Homo-oligomer: A and B are copies of this chain.
Amino acid sequence: MELLKRKIQEEGKIISEGILKVDSFLNHQIDPLLMQAMGQEFARRFHGDKITKVLTLEASGIAIAIMTALSLQVPLIFAKKRRPSTMNDEAFLGHVHSFTKDEDIDIMVSANFLSPEDRVLIIDDFLATGEAARGMIEIVRQSGASIIGVGIVIEKAFQEGGKSLREEDIRVESLARIAKLEQGRVFFL
């Protein structure tokens, strides 16, 4: 998606060792018009796939995921990173290892909101090792719902997440795929 690639070139900052910082428009300060355009793009790519629910992981996936859900006119569910005190229902659980924070977390979705009839589109801001996506896939599988695809804003194609998901025949649609980050520059695939 050209609009996104231009924004990454203009505002992205390469920090170190494969880390791209896009906190001026994607995951701290957020550009709502860009989110809307990207949500419309995901809806276009999954048009006709009869998506019934969009699923993301708190917190930085929510803005793009709600715009996608709005365009598809289906509910959004965001998986939570720990059990809130008001959540006593049965829940589907996934396991995620965060390499950036070096910690293991459980993520969960109340069993009230996913059922075997659902056709789920997973949305996230980044795909690198694929840990977050795998945690959400685990949740969808527990519920018996179908995984229709994974929509990603920025895929770090130099890490293994996208490749390994596609090898399992999971459809992954990324709006920008980064081949490498080198000498302070972003190279797209």
A contacts, CB < 8 Å to B: 15, 19, 21, 23-25, 28-33, 35-36, 58-60, 62-63, 66-67, 69-70, 73-78, 80, 84-87, 100-101, 109-110, 112-113
Contacts and interface: CB of A to CB of B under 8 A. Distances in A.
Contacts of A66: 30, 32, 35, 62-63, 66-67
Contacts of A80: 28, 59
28 contacts: A19-B86, A21-B86, A23-B87, A23-B110, A24-B113, A25-B75, A28-B77, A28-B109, A29-B76, A29-B77, A29-B110, A29-B112, A30-B78, A32-B73, A32-B75, A35-B70, A36-B70, A59-B59, A59-B62, A59-B80, A62-B63, A63-B63, A63-B66, A66-B66, A66-B67, A84-B100, A85-B101, A86-B100
Contacts of A15: 86
A60 B32 CA distance: 17
B28 A113 contact: yes
